[in-house]
Amino acid sequence: MTSPPKDRYNGVWLIFFMLGLGTLLPWNFFMTATLYFTSRLAEPATDRIAPGDDSDFLNVSNSLNISETEMRSLEPVRTPLQSKFNNVMTLCAMLPLLIFTCLNSILHRRIPQNIRIAGSLVAIFLVFLLTAIFVKIEFSPVTFFTLTMIKIVFINSFGALLQGSLFGMAALFPASYTAPIMSGQGLAGTFAAFSMICALASGSALEDSAFGYFITACAVILLALLSYFALGKLEFYQFYTVENLKNNSVNSSPNDVELKKDLLQKGDHGAEPGASATEKQSILSILKKIWVLALSVCLVFTVTIGIFPSVTADVQSTIAGDSEWGKYFIPVSCFLLFNLFDWAGRSLTSLVMWPGKDSKLLPIMVAARLVFLPLFMLCNVMPRSYLPVYLAHDAWYICIMVFFALSNGYLASLCMCFGPKKVNVHEAETAGAIMAFFLSLGLALGAGFSFLLRILV
């Protein structure tokens, strides 16, 4: 078999990384700006303190010589729209994500890849550009709430199509080329968490921070779109894409038979001779080959989203006292630490891929992550109603978080890399889309499970 061309300067790898970054960075920045959205839902008032503006809050508290607790009691009660924002936002995010990831398993056969990927990036770019413009425009709370939820639905719908299409495209390449997409997604969370900490340290206004978030997201999406257009010109990319292999099958040398035989066996509609003509049976036949890895990636994210951040973000430091550490404990120990080590775990699969795709140890390692649920619940989560606190010290929480995040990134990336490699070449793109669906299913199940876990603490 003729050796494939070299990935010069790791161009394809870097573009896959950039596309992975562009997939999740917008949503992570959107989530980071939650305080901004809830502040826009407050009833108009001239004597209220802006949510999140802790520096002005403490100055006023000190000048009046009253305690912080007493000062908090003077703040206006949260409006109904503010109270329901997080729950409705989660619902508007997870349902479209799950539905459109499922649809992508079928749509990828009917809609060209360029339209699915480039079109999704353009749509997300326009939504975030509109969001940045809305920062400077006044709306009533109800109108702003409605517009925000509509934007969340659009972002996650197109984001699901983009993510599923990317994993489907990466499935045509060697297994190590799914890793940069996972790694780019990990960096997206790290970047957003770091930006949150910087904003907290600077004391900048919520409106200014939000505008900066959305403009930055627009710039990253635009860069990802330009990178995707450059991807098609790279020889390494052309060698592995199904379209290129089909177009050049007539001129192929005999040495290319091993790589292309599955494609040459396909009929005009993409089905093997003798295989069922229905797409449903085709998807089921692929699912039978990858169901262990599909369920594994689903369980990885069910555990992760079930406990993070619904429980982990409510842990309080026991050593901070009156120091600044109490202010930065959750931003650093929860969000930044998780995203850093999640990114490290995703990136680690570029160097080592153990255990193998057929190993029984991989699903066992995935199931073992269930231990993180009681471990976090026994930390200093406040308020709590039922469970005692056994792991009160900050060091316990930080150590658990490190292993929790590292295992999430590494095991999820392994599953996503191995899944498409258990099927034939012409089935790889569909397998990648199916794996993306089970990833999204894990996110949705985890979001629902998180309510129960928080109640049980």
Q: Read off the pLDDT of residues 406-449 as tens digits, 9 standing for 90 and up.
A: 999 999 999 998 988 888 888 887 888 788 889 888 988 887 88
46 Cβ neighbours under 8 A, 6+ residues apart: none
**pLDDT above 90: residue 105:** no
Report the range of poorest mean pLDDT among 2-16, 198-212, 356-370, 417-431.
Answer: 198-212
Q: Coil, strand, or helix at residue 302?
A: helix
- State the average pLDDT over residues 393-401: 96
DSSP 85-153: HHHHHHHHHHHHHHHHHHHHHHHTTTS-HHHHHHHHHHHHHHHHHHHHHHTTS---HHHHHHHHHHHHH
8-43+80-240+276-456, superfamily in CATH? MFS general substrate transporter like domains (1.20.1250.20)
Cα 34 from Cα 37, distance rounded (Å): 5
**pLDDT above 50: residue 56:** no
- Residue 55 CA, distance from chain mean position: 32
pLDDT at 87 (0 to 100):
62
Question: Residue ranges of the domains in the chain?
Answer: 8-43+80-240+276-456
**pLDDT above 90: residue 112:** no
Q: pLDDT grade, residue 57 (50/70/90)?
A: very low
Give the tens place of pLDDT for each residue, 266-296: 434 444 444 444 556 688 888 999 999 999 9
pLDDT at 429 (0 to 100):
76
Pick the most confident of 10-14, 33-37, 328-332: 10-14
- State the average pLDDT over residues 399-403: 97
Which structure tokens are listed for 119? 């079109």
Which structure tokens are listed for 186? 């990990």
pLDDT at 323 (0 to 100):
83
- State the average pLDDT over residues 208-213: 77
Between CA 340 and CA 49, with CA 53 as vertex, the angle to 5 degrees is: 150
Report the range of poorest mean pLDDT among 200-204, 324-328, 453-457.
Answer: 200-204
**pLDDT above 60: residue 248:** no
